[in-house]
Structures are given as C-alpha cells and as structure tokens.
Amino acid sequence: MDPEYLTGIDEIDDQHKEIEEVAAALIEAIEAKDKWHIVHYIVVRLYELLRFHFTVEEALMRITGFPELDAHKRVHQEMLQTIERMKSVTLDPNLGNDSEIIRKQFSFVAHIVDHDKRLADFLVSNVTHLKR
C-alpha cells in the first residue's frame, strides 16, 4: 500500500490494504477476461469489505463526535452505489468488461483516504488513549 494512504490507525490501514488488494484483483480479472461470474464474485467481495469498513468508520465518527460525519457518510453512500451498479453489470454474462471503465470507478480511493486521514487526525487529537 502506498505510504501516503496510511492513516496511522492500524485497523483502518489494514482494512484499506485489503480493499486495495481486492480492487486490484478485480482489475486483474477484467484484464485477463475472466468469466463474468468470477468478476461478479470479486465485485461482491469488494462491496462487502467496503460496507464493513464504512460501518466501522461511521461508528467511530458517531462515538467520537466527528464533525464531518454527514459529508463522510455521503461519500460512503456514493461509493456503495457505484459498487452496486458494478454488481448489477457483472451479472450479465453477455456484457464485456472494460478495465479502463472499472479503473475510473476506483478514482474514489484517494478521496476516501483523504476523508479517512481527517478522521484519523481528529481521533488522535480528541481521544486521549489513542496513539499512532
């Protein structure tokens, strides 16, 4: 994982790493022209990882009074909607999968990490027992 994406909070960083690995596997499967059901399975896995990650983050935000909760939740919702659309598309075995289109869908990663870094900074500044 690119060090610039690290938040300094191990649990969040570990989740980001797994999400990044599954996203890379998705792109690889598409470029290898794997069968549609393999691509679909990877998209479903990515969706579940993101949903869990977002649930953890939003719980942390609520518990700690993170002031950007609503904006962060909107980003999460948009992301999940994008992955939902990908899931639907991959259900059609007659559709070709275009890796460039999928890559563009993952342009959100930097945006999410930026939000997550702000959350990490807030947590470290406001939760006395949390250390980086």
- Residue with the bigger pLDDT between 61 and 99: it is 61
Give residue 54's pLDDT.
Answer: 94
Q: Tokens 């869908």 label which residue?
A: 105
> Dihedral (C-alpha) 127, 18, 51, 124: value to the nearest 10 degrees?
10
Secondary structure tally for the chain: helices H, strands E = 5, 0
- Report in angstroms the alpha-carbon separations of 100 from 12, 43, 47, 57, 127: 27, 15, 19, 29, 41
Give domain limits for the chain. Answer: 3-126
Give residue 117's pLDDT.
Answer: 82
Q: What is the pLDDT of residues 23-48, one digit of tens each?
A: 889 888 888 877 878 888 999 999 99
92 contacts 51 by C-beta, under 8 angstroms: no
Average pLDDT over residues 65-94: 86
Specify the CATH class of 3-126 in words. mainly alpha
Give residue 32's pLDDT.
Answer: 85
- Give me 48's structure tokens: 């579940």
Give residue 43's pLDDT.
Answer: 92
What percent of the chain has pLDDT above 90?
Answer: 27
Q: Is the pLDDT of residue 98 over 70?
A: no
What percent of the chain has pLDDT above 70?
Answer: 80
